């Protein structure tokens, strides 16, 4: 559906989310590293819609603001996020509609009608159901375009259909749907139906708009059910088809904290299984947490307790963990990240070793064949080829050449209380233990710094700098008191 004005997407996200018992709107709850609603938007961006209309209502302002921030952080970019409109990857436009009368999914579509009416087709999704696969929606779109019903609804068979709307099939017509019955209004026979509504539908916009006009308030909350549009479409002589996915996890809707935890488990399992199928060893899938956007190469081994998030890309033959966090990083082939290390927005080049207990803060770049060892923290620094920061150091705002050795306890004093300054260390320099490098400062190539120095001036290449008080030995006037004074 590449042409303009063909596909509009409507995401329903105005609900009160009562069952979450939260001050935070439901669609902003985090599922792993992303809010529910952001996940939905990211996935449909691949369908190249012309426009994404998001119906907000409950705490609308909070949803809009939070979403702006997340869209900027994640690949679905909204560079010009302002007011009610933003751009997704420079293609789809994001529009917010604020639902005034919070009376059900049908009402949400009614209030958004002016924004979708010019599109031939409308994909309706729920902001609280982010586990569908993009591929499934692409297949469903093909099914919808081939069969041309007025509505195609995504369904699945559930062993425990619980509170989902039940799909009442119309036996004579293959794949035909007669009605969607909401669980509270269902008869015992209807409740026994295993096939349920995901809340995702492709509609012919014209049929949808006609059907929602005739919705009536229903149930104990007197709401307009979008699901009743099925019957209205049939009454008008139209057709509704079901598109069933074989993976029931895809249709998971999140209404409670329990659902949220369950959804995260399903999502994580799915990600790990895909990685394992691609040749990654996950030693203990029950205790490994990897986000959907992460890529990992063959023969990499992920030990228990690892959390890998964001847009992280990991190469082949790496060893990760046990325990640790890697977020938005690029890790090249053959890297080892040992026990309890934390890495964010950093790059680790081929063959480097990080940890145990190391911290790479944003914009660190290590290696190839570099080493950052125990209790060392790196921030916004380049650690050159073969350079080592093996123990107890802080290196910030530093440009370090090749084969530098940084002694234990070295600190780059990059902050003078008001501004940050750079430290430059030339190749093959040797920094003695417990050195303070007071920035801005340059250490030339091959220079050596004596242990315990506080370096405040540049050190020329190939020289030795000593910047510490000379040791003095004095005779004691009195013999010191014995250490053990107590009598036996």
Residues marked as catalytic: 391
Cis peptide before 56 (omega within 30 of 0): no
**Identity of the residue, 19 or 448, whose beta carbon is nearer to ligand UD1 in the bound complex:** 19
Give 150 or 250: the residue with its C-beta nearer to Ca ion: 250
Angle between helices 105-116 and 205-213 (to 10 degrees): 130
Decide: is 231 part of the binding site for Ca ion (CB under 5 A).
Answer: no
What are the Cα distances from residue 264, in Å, to 24, 29, 31, 251, 317? 18, 12, 6, 13, 27
Closer of 228 and 369 to ligand UD1 (Cβ): 228
Site string for ligand UD1, 173-192 (x = CB under 6 A): -------x-x----------
Contact 12, 108 (CB under 8 A): yes
**Position among 66, 137, 151, 196 found at the interface with ligand UD1 (CB under 6 A):** 196
Establish if 9 lies at the interface with ligand UD1 (CB under 6 A). Answer: no
Q: What is the distance between the alpha carbons of residues 225 and 125, in angstroms, rounded to a whole number?
A: 14
Residue 227 contact partner, candidates ligand UD1, Ca ion, none, CB within 5 to 8 A by sort of partner: ligand UD1
**From 127-135, 289-297, 352-360, 428-436, span contacting ligand UD1 (CB under 6 A):** 127-135
Contacts with 127 (C-beta within 8 Å, 6 or more apart), sequence order: 11, 12, 13, 26, 27, 36, 37, 40, 54
Shortest Å distance, C-beta 245 to ligand UD1: 13
As beta bridge partners, residue 319 has: 301, 336
Which tokens in the block code for residue 453? 């120095």
Q: Which residue among 33, 111, 128, 365 contacts Ca ion (CB under 5 A)?
A: 128
Q: Return the range that interacts with Ca ion (CB under 5 A); candidates 142-150, 168-176, 255-263, 314-322.
A: 255-263
Interface mask (CB under 6 A) for ligand UD1, residues 75-114, using x and -?
A: ------------------------x--xxxx-xx------
For residues 125 and 306, which CB has a smaller minimum distance to ligand UD1 in the complex?
125
When the beta carbons of 57 and 432 are compared against ligand UD1, the nearer one is 57
Residue 180 contact partner, candidates Ca ion, ligand UD1, none, CB within 5 to 8 A by sort of partner: ligand UD1
Residue 127 touches ligand UD1, criterion: CB under 6 A:
yes
Identify the CA nearest to 337 among candidates 348, 327, 345, 328. 348
**One residue of 15, 49, 373, 384 binding ligand UD1 per CB under 6 A:** 15
- 261 token code pair: 């935890």
- Tell me how crowded residue 375 is: count the other CB atoms within 10 A of its CB: 16
Query: Whose CA is closest to 209, among 120, 100, 85?
Result: 120
Residue nearest to ligand UD1 (CB): 165
Per CB under 5 A, 253 contacts Ca ion:
yes
Closest CA to 196 of 249, 257, 269, 142: 249
Choose, by CB under 6 A, the member of 165, 324, 370, 432 that binds ligand UD1: 165
In angstroms, the Cα distances linking 364 to 89, 348, 404, 422, 480 are 27, 8, 16, 14, 50
Considering only residues 241-260, where is the footprint of ligand UD1 by CB under 6 A?
Answer: 253, 255
- What 8-state DSSP symbol labels residue 176? B
* Minimum CB–partner distance for residue 12 and ligand UD1 (Å): 3
Minimum distance between the CB of residue 19 and Ca ion, rounded to whole angstroms?
9
From the list ligand UD1, Ca ion, none, pick the one residue 127 interacts with, judged by a Cβ distance below 5 to 8 Å according to partner type: ligand UD1
Tell me how far apart the alpha carbons of residues 248 and 255 are, in angstroms, rounded to a whole number: 16
Say which DSSP state 125 is in: E
Whether 121 contacts 203, CB under 8 Å: yes
Of 186 and 210, nearer to ligand UD1 (C-beta) is 186
Q: Report what 414 binds from ligand UD1, Ca ion, none; CB cut-off 5-8 Å by kind.
A: none
Pattern of binders to Ca ion over 198-227, x per CB under 5 A? ------------------------------
Nearer to Ca ion by Cβ, of 16 and 466: the residue is 16
Place of tokens 């090749």: 402
User: Which residues fall within 8 angstroms of residue 342, CB to CB, at 6 or more apart?
Assistant: 324, 325, 358, 359, 360
Nearer to Ca ion, 253 or 426 (CB): 253
Alpha carbon distance 336, 342 (integer Å): 13
Among 13-21, 89-97, 340-348, 421-429, which window interacts with ligand UD1 (CB under 6 A)?
A: 13-21
CA dihedral 293, 298, 300, 305 (to 10 degrees): 40
**Residues 6 or more apart from 139 whose CB is under 8 A from it?**
243
CB of 185 to Ca ion, least distance (A): 16
Q: What are phi and psi for residue 319, nearest 5 degrees? A: -125, 125
Name residue, tokens 């909401």. Answer: 182
Q: Is 370 among the residues that bind ligand UD1 (CB under 6 A)? A: no
Least Cβ distance, residue 218 to ligand UD1 (angstroms): 9
Residues that bind ligand UD1 (CB under 6 A): 12-15, 55, 57, 99, 102-105, 107-108, 126-129, 164-165, 180, 182, 196-199, 225-227, 253, 255
């Amino acid at each position: 559906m590449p042409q303009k004005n063909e596909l509009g997407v409507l995401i329903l996200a105005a609900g009160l989310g009562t069952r979450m018992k939260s001050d935070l709107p439901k669609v902003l709850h985090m599922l792993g590293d992303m809010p529910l609603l952001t996940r939905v938007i990211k996935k449909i961006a691949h369908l190249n819609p012309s426009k994404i209309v998001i119906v907000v209502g409950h705490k609308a302002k909070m949803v809009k603001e939070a979403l702006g921030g997340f869209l900027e952080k994640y690949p679905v970019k909204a560079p010009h996020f302002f007011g009610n409109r933003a751009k997704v990857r420079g293609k789809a436009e994001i529009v917010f509609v604020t639902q005034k009368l919070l009376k059900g999914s049908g009402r949400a579509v009614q209030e958004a009608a002016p924004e979708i009416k010019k599109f031939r087709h409308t994909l309706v999704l729920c902001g609280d159901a982010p586990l569908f696969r993009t591929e499934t929606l692409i297949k469903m779109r093909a099914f919808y375009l081939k069969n041309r019903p007025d509505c195609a609804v995504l369904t699945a068979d559930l062993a425990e259909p619980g509170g989902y709307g039940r799909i009442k099939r119309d036996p004579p017509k293959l794949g035909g749907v007669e009605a969607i019955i909401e669980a509270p209004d269902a008869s015992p026979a209807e409740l026994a139906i295993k096939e349920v509504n995901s809340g995702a539908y492709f509609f012919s916009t014209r049929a949808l708009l006609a059907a929602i006009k005739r919705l009536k308030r229903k149930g104990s909350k007197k709401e307009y059910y979008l699901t009743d549009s099925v019957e209205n479409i049939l009454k008008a002589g139209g057709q509704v088809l079901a598109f069933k996915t074989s993976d029931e996890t895809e249709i998971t809707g999140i209404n409670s904290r329990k659902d949220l935890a369950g959804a995260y488990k399903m999502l994580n399992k799915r990600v790990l299984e895909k990685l394992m199928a691609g040749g990654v060893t996950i030693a203990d899938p029950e205790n490994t947490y990897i986000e959907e956007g992460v890529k990992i190469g063959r023969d990499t081994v992920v030990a228990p307790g690892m959390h890998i998030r964001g847009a992280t890309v990991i190469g082949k033959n790496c060893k990760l963990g046990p325990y640790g966090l890697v977020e938005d990083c690029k890790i090249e082939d053959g890297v080892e990240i040992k026990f309890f290390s934390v890495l964010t927005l950093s790059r680790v080049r081929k063959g480097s070793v990080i940890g145990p207990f190391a911290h790479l803060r944003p914009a660190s770049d290590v290696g190839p064949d570099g080493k950052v060892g125990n209790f060392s923290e790196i921030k916004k620094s380049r650690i050159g080829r073969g350079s080592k920061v093996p123990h107890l150091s802080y290196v910030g705002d530093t440009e370090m050449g090749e084969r530098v050795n940084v002694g234990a306890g070295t600190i780059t004093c990059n902050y003078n209380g008001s501004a940050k300054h750079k430290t430059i260390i030339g190749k093959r320099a040797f920094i003695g233990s417990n050195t303070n490098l007071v920035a801005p400062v340059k250490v030339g190539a091959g220079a050596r710094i004596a242990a315990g120095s506080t370096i405040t001036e540049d050190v020329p290449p190939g020289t030795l700098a000593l910047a510490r008080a000379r040791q003095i030995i004095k005779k004691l006037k009195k013999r010191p008191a014995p250490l053990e004074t107590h009598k036996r």
